[in-house]
Amino acid sequence: MDWGLKNRLARIISPADNRALMLAVDHGYFLGPTEKLEDLKKTIAPLAKHCDSLMITRGALRTSVNPDYPVPVVLRVSGGTSIIGEDLSQEDITVSIKDALRLNVSAVAMSVFVGSKYEYQTIVNLGKLVNEAEEYGIPVLAVTAVGKEIGTKDARYLSLACRVAAEQGAHVVKTYYCENFEKVVKSCPVPIIIAGGKKIPEKDALKLTYDALKAGAVGVDMGRNIWQSDNPVAMIKAVHSIVHGSNNAEQAFTLYKQLSGKSNQKQNNKPNQKQNNKPNQKQNNKPNQKQNNKPNQKQNNKPNQKQNNKPNQKQNNKSKNNSNKKSKKRN
């Protein structure tokens, strides 16, 4: 392996820990403006500094990534079909190596559809791409896309697809995570990066990342599970804490919630409830005591005084008059 090829690979897979965090934003080549990827610049700008490399198409790179920002690029060079077409597996090479060199990419990527109707075409194209790319010291990443005829992502199929890609000369293979993923890693002689796949809950995506790395993958190429997240920056930082840090899935999810402000929100609600309840109790009790006590005192005391005093005076006056009458009669 030449120095240039090694140097480019080191931009994608960090030599410090042999790990890679790739941000996938190439979905538009067959999905078009999918949700949360309508505005490429807006999506990419806050996330690029938190990843090791971008997986992107040449059109998106030229129009939506600042050339002053030194983010390594893994350039998708295959395509030819769209989501509304008859068969997504009918791909061909659409970008020349010369154009990839002009864009100063760190690697080129293409899909192979093992088991599909166009298996032969895509595998042969991979071999041709490796031949041309190695002349210029450019690594090739093979994406083991699943054909419609296969439909499953089990260890037996993925082991086959990854091994075929590696045998054709791919320097890195991107594939899906599955049960018994250790078997896939063990049977593939080149580094494996897992695909994030369709959007799933953040906690599940972080568990996927942790489990894949534990099983032997060197990193992740994650797209929708980052930029379709409620908080993309918090999510990519959480993924980073697993890939390049020591966090497990639970710790990474806790970090995601903290960065999203969700844990603070939970903590802030409880004290507010406590503060709202105590004053209400205080307000409700004091007025009740005032109403119950003071009026009662007024009712009990003043009327009693009136009843006790005035009637007594009346009785005293009557007795005085009676005594006067008696004295007059005697006289």
CA distance 19 to 52: 9
Q: Which of 6, 41, 128, 174 is catalytic?
A: 174
When mean pLDDT is compared across 40-44, 53-57, 300-304, the lowest value belongs to 300-304
Read off the pLDDT of residues 207-232 as tens digits, 9 standing for 90 and up.
Answer: 999 999 999 999 999 999 999 999 99
Read off the pLDDT of residues 56-109 as tens digits, 9 standing for 90 and up.
Answer: 999 999 999 999 988 999 999 999 989 898 888 999 999 999 999 999 999 999
Active site residue 174: yes
**Residue 120: helix, strand or coil by DSSP?**
helix
Between 299 and 85, name the one with better pLDDT.
85
Query: Which is it for strands 140-144 and 78-79: parallel, antiparallel or unpaired?
Result: unpaired
pLDDT band at 308 (very low <50, low <70, confident <90, very high): very low
pLDDT of residue 310: 44
Q: What is the mean pLDDT of residues 131-160?
A: 86
Q: What pTM was computed for the model?
A: 0.78
Cβ neighbour number for residue 300 with a 10 Å cutoff: 10
Structure tokens, 98: 């010369």
pLDDT of residue 191: 98
pLDDT at 4 over 50: yes
Contacts 24+ apart (CB under 8 A), 53-57: 53/11, 53/12, 53/20, 53/21, 53/22, 53/23, 53/106, 53/107, 54/22, 54/23, 54/25, 55/22, 55/23, 55/24, 55/25, 55/26, 55/109, 55/221, 55/223, 56/25, 56/26, 57/26, 57/28, 57/29
Q: What is the mean pLDDT of residues 168-172?
A: 98
**Cα 107 versus chain centre, distance:** 26
